Amino acid sequence: MQQHERANFGSKLGAILAAAGSAVGLGNIWRFPFEAGNHGGAAFILIYLGCVFIFGLPIMIAEFVIGRRSKASTGKAYSVLAPGTSWKWVGYFGVLTGFLILGYYSVVAGWTLEYVFQAAIGGFSGKTPGDFVGMFNDFSKDPLRPLLWLFIFIALTHFVIVKGVKSGIEKSAKIMMPLLFVLIVLLAVCSVMLPGAWKGIEFLLKPDFSKVTSHVFLGAMGQAFFSLSLGMGCLSTYASYFSKDIRLGHTAMSVGLIDTCVSVLAGLVIFPAAFSVGIQPDAGPSLIFITLPNVFQQAFGDIPFLSYICAVAFYVLLALAALTSTISLHEVATAFLHEKFRFSRGKAARLISCSCLLIGIVASLSLGDWSEYRIASLTIFDALDFLTAKIMLPLGGMLAAIFVGWFLKRKIVRDEVTNNGLIKAPYYSAFMFILKYVAPIGISFIFINELGWLG
Ligand code: PFF
């Protein structure tokens, strides 16, 4: 164990914001609103909250226990806590998952920079809805431009990572997270004040239980995993930098709350504005990169300055959210190389940045020139998303739950959640019951369902 010279987050708030920075990302602003809107609005939100409480928070605490106790990144934590066993493969599996996610996630993160740029130079003004479709298609299929932004985004992530834990990750989270929160609240206020906005609020918040099927339950659970950054040891790596006095249960609650608030606020930015200008919200990339520029253009058309500011603010917000998440993904692999092979942080970070750039290039080109290369009929980009988010994350989360629920000594778990008996953890019995039974069985269901989709 490399107990000495190990970095720590400097404060409890810094630790919470860094973990929340990992959780809040493209998953909240891009994926959640659409899932909620199309799967029964408030009904989906209620089920999602259930998933966050029942599966998400206990698994997050389990990952915190693994990280803080081992004082090692996820790639090494299992070897420290269960030496000489095959559990170490769970750690390596987490590193691989994070590395693959970082590759394709950075592609979309790079797109956010193109849109910050376009918004800033006034590139949206005077465009018709058709122009926005053309603009996005031309850009995402262009062989070079997305690669340039991918490179810039990975370079930004790299820069924060080499600065280290306290002055890189923690400091950036302390600046970016409050800024992100202020921006999203302001945008939500602007959006809900637009004429006819209530239709969008209704679309998002009116419970419609007729749309709830078993698929909705499973979708909500998958969304909870991706959004809370669970299942690949990302938060367990951050927890290895937690000091002894951090309350694991309290930190998990705070991260879960911040993440969920941002998701709901993102819905309140997107849907009221879209309905107000009579645009039917669409899925995935087109919602964020085609519908929204159009919405900003039309909704505040009478006040061009407001439309300009809202567009710039929104894409800056998206880029910041993506950056705090790519930092956390990068850290998992960097810390692993640093600890396992004793590379300096700089060298480890360079290796990860370069290889992730290669994956990103392949993923990006697979949406354009290389779209004919397919894996089980999916482009390489979609295949990476499917494999990591739908299979590897639930599997990693289930294994972490089984590890803490069944294998780790009871005393270790209790000591961690109670800070060696200094604080109370009234949730302990329920937490253990979930880790032992509820999570493994529940996650097996998502898993079987997703594999069913493959066939
Ligand atoms: N939670 C991030 C999001 O919602 O965009 C994505 C993510 C980050 C997933 C880190 C997994 C992870 F380890």
| Closest CA to ligand 1's atom 9 | 229
**84 CA → ligand 1 middle, Å:** 30
| Closest CA to ligand 1's atom 12 | 229
pLDDT score, position 265:
93
The conformational region for residue 84 under phi > 0 = left, psi -120 to 50 = alpha, else beta, is left
pLDDT score, position 284:
60
**242 CA → ligand 1 middle, Å:** 19
**102 CA → ligand 1 middle, Å:** 9
Residues 6+ apart with CB under 8 A from 27: 223, 226, 227, 325
Q: Go through the chain and tell me how many residues it has.
A: 455
pLDDT score, position 326:
96
| Closest CA to ligand 1's atom 13 | 229
Q: Which parts of 193-344 fold into alpha helices (H)? A: 198-205, 214-227, 234-239, 248-276, 284-286, 292-299, 304-340
Terminal Cα distance for the chain, rounded: 44
**23 CA → ligand 1 middle, Å:** 5
Nearest to 384 by CA among 398, 374, 372, 395: 374
> Which atom of ligand 1 approaches the CA of 25 most closely?
5
**344 CA → ligand 1 middle, Å:** 25
**Distances 146 to 41, 209, 220 between C-alpha atoms, Å:** 33, 40, 31
Q: Angle formed by the axes of helices 292-299 and 88-120, to 10°?
A: 30
| Closest CA to ligand 1's atom 7 | 229
Could you identify the residue written with the tokens 């408030």? 42
pLDDT score, position 360:
96
pLDDT score, position 204:
85
Sequential pLDDT tens for the chain (455 residues): 444 457 788 888 999 999 999 999 999 988 888 788 778 888 889 999 999 998 999 999 999 999 999 999 999 999 999 999 999 999 999 999 999 999 999 999 999 999 999 999 999 888 887 888 889 889 988 889 999 999 999 999 999 999 988 888 888 888 888 988 888 998 899 889 888 889 989 888 888 888 887 778 777 888 899 999 999 999 999 999 999 999 999 999 999 999 999 999 999 988 888 888 777 665 566 678 887 888 787 777 678 788 888 899 889 989 999 999 999 999 999 999 999 999 999 999 999 999 999 999 999 999 888 888 888 888 899 899 888 887 899 899 999 999 999 999 999 999 999 999 999 999 999 999 999 999 999 888 867 776 665 44
d(CA 323, CA 141): 23
d(CA 105, CA 324): 12
Of the residues 234, 263, 385, 387, which should be mutated to test ligand 1's pocket, given the most ligand atoms within 8 Å of the CB?
Answer: 234
Name the β-bridge partners of 406.
Answer: none
Of the residues 328, 331, 334, 391, which should be mutated to test ligand 1's pocket, given the most ligand atoms within 8 Å of the CB?
Answer: 328
pLDDT score, position 80:
96
Query: Pocket around ligand 1: residues whose beta carbon is below 6 Å from it?
Result: 22-23, 25-28, 98, 101, 226-227, 229, 232, 234, 325, 328-329
**414 CA → ligand 1 middle, Å:** 28
**405 CA → ligand 1 middle, Å:** 24
154: tokens are 């990975």
What is the reported pTM?
Answer: 0.92
**393 CA → ligand 1 middle, Å:** 10
CA 161 to chain CA centroid, nearest Å = 17
pLDDT score, position 451:
67
> Which atom of ligand 1 approaches the CA of 228 most closely?
1
pLDDT score, position 1:
41
**98 CA → ligand 1 middle, Å:** 9
Of the residues 48, 59, 229, which should be mutated to test ligand 1's pocket, given the most ligand atoms within 8 Å of the CB?
Answer: 229
